[in-house]
Amino acid sequence: MYKQLKACFFACRPFWAGLWTCCLLWAGTARGQLILQVVSQKMSTSFAYQPGQVLHIDTERADIHLQGWDKEEVQLELQLIAKHRDRSKAEAALKQFHYQAERIGQHVYVKNTLPEAPTNAYLKAVFVLHAPRNSDIQLTNKLGKVFISDMQGATEAEGYLCMFELNKLGGRLQLRSNLGNVRATQLAAESDISVQRAGLEIEGMTGDLSITGIYASVVLSALPHSSPLHIDVETDKSDILLRNFPSQGHEYHLQLRHGSLQLPAWPGWQQSEDGQRARFTPGQAAGRIHISTTYGHIRFE
């Protein structure tokens, strides 16, 4: 039996060799078909800044990099990118991928618009902006990423399918994110943040912080020896994790409807019989932390 199988295998060697060659050719052809042609357009401009000016950013399929600086000037560097297997189609799509950058009175407008006709080209815009640190910002972005660093004015931002990275923000912050994770470090702004079907992670915070969310994951990390914290979290169907939060100088009010509550081993906790509410009220508390969720978990680390 073995000899018969061996003879059959060797007799079919030309077939196996041909099949293997076809597979290699198909893989090479498929790989070639996936090679995208890339075309792009770059531009740069700047605007003199006047106190009280507002920077409006309205973008789609864009990555926004906004950095505060000392100059009394708003500077923009922009790159529009189109990708397609057919270079002519990428070029045609790029011609319809428009942008706007202009100043009208006390307002600076930066935006891009997608082609009106449907296109299967991959489109992306990259905005690199520098603005005075105390500038007021109004930003909306869909399908992309937003990086904001070292701004001290009033920032209003809204994103859909957009990731946010925030660093060293002061002043005031109002942020709405739907289906886009938010990560902030050294957040000193008076902040009002809302997340829906997204994760929120803040490492190091001062000042007042208000958070609302649904289907969210919230991770808050306090810095050692930070000033008194004032935090209000109201969520639905969400998990909340508090890291390195102090026991001294802060009162805690925790509440959930269905889920688990895991408390740190601090003496003085008062917990309800059903384990769904807890309170910690040390004397002379300068900070206040209120956490509430419906279906979810509240934990300390």
**Listed range (96-100, 118-122, 151-155, 256-260) with the worst mean pLDDT:** 118-122
Asked if the structure places residue 114 within a domain, the reply is no
Position 108 in a domain: no
Q: What is the pLDDT of residues 79-125, one digit of tens each?
A: 999 999 999 999 999 999 999 999 999 999 999 998 887 788 999 99
Each residue of 167-194: b (16+ CB within 10 Å) or e?
A: bbbbbbbbbbbbebbbebbbbbbbbbbb
User: What's the gap between Cα 102 and its chain centre?
Assistant: 27
- Total domains in the chain come to 1
Does residue 72 lie within any of the structural domains? no
Report yes or no on 262 lying in a domain: yes
- In a domain, residue 89? The reply is no
CA distances from residue 229 to 101, 179, 236, 238, 286 in whole angstroms, order as listed: 40, 28, 22, 21, 8
Q: Has residue 146 got a pLDDT over 80? A: yes
**Res 3: pLDDT:** 46
Predicted confidence (pLDDT) per residue in 187-217, tens digit: 999 999 999 999 999 999 987 999 999 999 9
pLDDT of residue 265: 93
Q: Is residue 268 part of a domain?
A: yes
Global confidence as pTM:
0.86
Kindly state whether residue 185 falls inside one of the protein's structural domains. Answer: yes
Residue numbers of the domain that contains 208: 181-301
Measured at the alpha carbon of residue 135, what is the angle toward residues 130 and 137, in degrees to the nearest 5? 85
Q: Which two tokens stand for residue 232?
A: 């209000």
Other C-beta atoms within 10 Å of 263: how many? 15
Domain-located, residue 250: yes
Predicted confidence (pLDDT) per residue in 128-143, tens digit: 999 999 999 999 999 9
